[in-house]
Chain A
Amino acid sequence: MTRGALRRYVPSLVLFGALLLIWQVVPPLLRIREYLLPGPVAVVRAALNFSIPWHAHIWVTTLEILGGFALAGAGGVALGVAIAWSGTAARALVPFLVVVNTLPKVAVAPLFLLWLGYGVVPNMLIAALIGFFPVVINTAVGLTQIDEELLDLGRVFGAPKWKVFVKIRLPNALPYVLSALKITATAAVVGAIVGEFVASQAGLGMVIVNAQTNLNTPVAFAALAWISVIGLGLYGAVGLAARAWAPWADTP
């Protein structure tokens, strides 16, 4: 990382540090008990207390998030391509997708468990279900929102439809897809945790539920911290991919 990039993060790092400090110092002064609001030191201690099998929980939750993200990405792009490619497909799919998207996914989660049992797969599916819609929409928009003149270009050179699709429409859609995937990265985290809340045998969401019943709040906060590490990691990776694969796009 260059000096300039470092300097860019200075304000947010300073703010973060100040908040941590306030969080550490102020609650004890107000006599707020640790089981209500543990300080950062207690949280970090819990997060690094490896008598709790953190790695196993992190592994399960990460798997659910990545699986859900991949499913949402692949399924979303496929559906978006279908919608953009054929008007019939669009008319058939769009109302259906809108209905699916307006379903409260939290309410669907227990059904998935009923059908698929405990485990990683139902939580992956919930994560995918929450995250796929923006990918569908952005893919379809990126493929169709295209300068009429760019399409004329294809027609002037006598290109067949599939070639215009591959050489012009698809690259045009790439920044749209990548920016949707950033949303999906965050949504997949929510989906995986929601799934684990409903029922699970492992995972950071389950850790939170258990810690809550035991009033072991530092562990709940620690799980939260690990979740946000995973979430930030995925979000950052998508951001890096966007910059590497679509350097021409204006969106940062």
Chain B
Amino acid sequence: MIVLDGVGMTYRAASGPVEALRSISFRVDGGELVALVGPSGCGKSTLLRIIAGLRPATTGRVAVGGHAVTGPVPAVGMVFQAPILLKWRRIVENVLLPAELAGLDPGAFRGRALELLRLVGLGDFADRLPRELSGGMQQRAALCRALLLDPPLLLMDEPFGALDAMTRDELNLELLRVWGEGSRTRKTIVFVTHSIVEAVFLADRVVVLTPRPGRVAELVPVPLPRPRTVETRASPAFGALALQIHLLLARSA
């Protein structure tokens, strides 16, 4: 589904070049849920943008769905690190934005938008303006927006970073449901997080990145059984994987 081959990225900032990523190579299979962990500033957001075709990589090749990425990749659901809701639109209208931008009839998606909002606990906030919601609530609305058109590929940049632990755990389970954990037709998800626990809980594989410039420190498979449940986190295998990733991060730091 996604192939990264020797991807590097150097920003040309006013203060000089900043090498954010260096020779990143890995692939994500169709239906796979891959988590990206790494220290802050190691280029996780940059990598997600490159995969989405929002920024060209300085070096290397990127392909999504068998096509080389040269511009914005179609049919991607993207959750940015910040909610970036349109502050003049009510929450439900923000969720409907992808339909409008894609030239679809937003009326036809209204029911689905409200359903998604209910799913993430925002059913009562559909008609509020973004500034009336907390950061975590805004981020959940942004998640609904990304899911509106039911995209086969989801790129998520610390989507639950602003949430309290309990809501985060709930939404992790919800995300697995949306992904299609119990079904045969799964979405492909690349999920950036700085929480090792979240990465291990969700992912089929965890990509551990080094500090800047970000390189792949290790690709860690997560062979925990699915469907994952609240008990998954309590299993010894879970703890061993979390520790392994923790050590990898600590070693490369």
A156 with B86, Cβ < 8 A, contacts A167-B97, A167-B100, A248-B131 known: no
Mask for A158-201, Cβ within 8 A of B = 1, else 0? 11000110011001101000000000000000000000000000
Mask for B66-104, Cβ within 8 A of A = 1, else 0? 000000101010101010101111000000011011110
Chain A interface SS verdict (over half)? helix
A246 at the interface (CB under 8 A from B): yes
| Cβ of A249 to closest chain B Cβ, rounded Å | 8
Total number of A residues with any Cβ neighbor in B under 8 Å? 21
A149 touches B84 (CB 8 A): yes
B18 at the interface (CB under 8 A from A): no
Question: In whole angstroms, how far apart are the Cα atoms of A167 and B49 in the complex?
Answer: 22
> Which residues of chain A come closer than 8 Å to B76, judged between CB atoms?
156
B219 at the interface (CB under 8 A from A): no
A171 touches B86 (CB 8 A): yes
B101 touches A157 (CB 8 A): yes
B72 touches A246 (CB 8 A): no
A154 touches B88 (CB 8 A): no
Question: In whole angstroms, how far apart are the Cα atoms of A190 and B84 in the complex?
Answer: 41
> Which residues of chain A come closer than 8 Å to B89, judged between CB atoms?
171
A152 touches B80 (CB 8 A): yes
CB-nearest residue of chain A to B84: A149
> Which residues of chain A come closer than 8 Å to B178, judged between CB atoms?
none
CB contacts under 8 Å to A, within B31-52, are 49, 52
A248 touches B129 (CB 8 A): yes
B87 touches A158 (CB 8 A): no
Name the contact of A157 in the complex, choosing from B84, B102, B129 (C-beta under 8 A). Answer: B102
A248 with B84, Cβ < 8 A, contacts A152-B54, A153-B97, A156-B54 known: no
A248 with B87, Cβ < 8 A, contacts A156-B72, A156-B76 known: yes
A158 touches B101 (CB 8 A): yes
A150 touches B102 (CB 8 A): no
A174 with B97, Cβ < 8 A, contacts A156-B72, A156-B76, A158-B102 known: no
> Which residues of chain B come closer than 8 Å to A156, judged between CB atoms?
52, 54, 72, 76, 78
Name the contact of A167 in the complex, choosing from B82, B87, B101 (C-beta under 8 A). Answer: B101
Name the contact of A163 in the complex, choosing from B52, B87, B101 (C-beta under 8 A). Answer: B101
A168 with B86, Cβ < 8 A, contacts A149-B80, A153-B97, A156-B76 known: yes
| Cβ of B238 to closest chain A Cβ, rounded Å | 33
A155 at the interface (CB under 8 A from B): yes
> Which residues of chain B come closer than 8 Å to A155, judged between CB atoms?
54, 72
A154 touches B84 (CB 8 A): no
Which of A149, A156, A168, A174 is packed against the most chain B CB atoms within 10 Å?
Answer: A156
| Cβ of A158 to closest chain B Cβ, rounded Å | 6
A246 with B88, Cβ < 8 A, contacts A153-B97, A158-B74 known: yes
Which of A158, A159, A172 is packed against the most chain B CB atoms within 10 Å?
Answer: A158
B88 touches A248 (CB 8 A): yes
> Which residues of chain B come closer than 8 Å to A246, judged between CB atoms?
88
A174 touches B88 (CB 8 A): yes
CB-nearest residue of chain A to B99: A157
> Which residues of chain B come closer than 8 Å to A248, judged between CB atoms?
87-88, 129-131
> Which residues of chain A come closer than 8 Å to B129, judged between CB atoms?
247-248
Which of B89, B100, B101, B130 is packed against the most chain A CB atoms within 10 Å?
Answer: B101
CB contacts under 8 Å to B, within A119-162, are 147, 149-150, 152-159
> Which residues of chain B come closer than 8 Å to A174, judged between CB atoms?
88
| Cβ of B44 to closest chain A Cβ, rounded Å | 15
Question: In whole angstroms, how far apart are the Cα atoms of A167 and B94 in the complex?
Answer: 11
> Which residues of chain B come closer than 8 Å to A150, judged between CB atoms?
84, 86
> Which residues of chain A come closer than 8 Å to B98, judged between CB atoms?
157
| Cβ of A173 to closest chain B Cβ, rounded Å | 11
A–B complex contacts, Cβ < 8 Å, 13 sampled: A149-B80, A152-B54, A152-B80, A154-B101, A156-B76, A157-B98, A158-B74, A159-B101, A167-B86, A167-B100, A168-B86, A248-B88, A248-B130
Can you add 17 more A-B contacts, CB < 8 Å, to A150-B84, A158-B74? A149-B80, A149-B84, A150-B86, A153-B80, A153-B97, A155-B72, A156-B52, A156-B76, A157-B97, A157-B101, A158-B72, A158-B101, A158-B102, A159-B101, A167-B86, A167-B100, A248-B88
Q: Interface residues, chain B, CB within 8 Å of chain A?
A: 49, 52, 54, 72, 74, 76, 78, 80, 82, 84, 86-89, 97-98, 100-103, 129-131
Q: Kindly list the 7 A-B residue pairs having the minimum CB-CB distance in the complex, ordered from nearest.
A: A159-B101, A157-B101, A155-B72, A157-B98, A248-B87, A149-B84, A156-B78
